[in-house]
Amino acid sequence: MDWSYILGHMNYWLFTVMMMTGLYIVIARGNLVKKIVGLNIFQTAVFMFYISIGKVSGGTVPIFPTDMEIDPEVTYSNPLPHVLILTAIVVGIATTSLALALVVRIHEEYDTIEEDDILEIETRIAREENRAHGGAMGGRA
């Protein structure tokens, strides 16, 4: 376990801490908007991991000179993770907006965006329905 090993793996460990922070927000917090922020943090951590893998030390941005006179001495970083993550970011914001739209609809229906309150309301509705119809449903079968 020498110094260069630690420096070489620091990125991966920091990305793990960031990803777990996002996961913790998703699991432990009840507010739906905050859960979405947590999901975004998780997602960004995965992006960082992908891009870290594509980095070549001493490499540069994978764009050739405009006149296409390519110097064979230059190393370019791996363009493949860039392509995957570039599209994933835009897809990510599109799906995030879908999640936010769901949150808005949930708030209109339940008047709250706290998970605990929504569960409470759901249980109450279920109990009332049971009381109203439960006898008829259970009696016949």
Q: What is the DSSP string of 82-123?
A: HHHHHHHHHHHHHHHHHHHHHHHHHHHHHS--BHHHHHHHHH
Rounded-to-integer distance, Cα 48 and Cα 36, Å: 18
133 touching another protein, by CB under 8 A: no
Cα dihedral sign, 86-87-92-97 = positive
112 touching another protein, by CB under 8 A: yes
118 touching another protein, by CB under 8 A: no
Residues within window 32-51 making contact with another protein, judged by CB under 8 A: 33-34, 36-38, 40-41, 44, 47-48, 51
Among the listed residues 2, 89, 136, 140, the single contact to another protein using CB under 8 A: 89
The pair of structure tokens assigned to 7 is: 């420096």
Among the listed residues 3, 55, 128, 133, the single contact to another protein using CB under 8 A: 55
125 touching another protein, by CB under 8 A: no
State in angstroms the smallest separation of the CB of 54 from another protein. 6
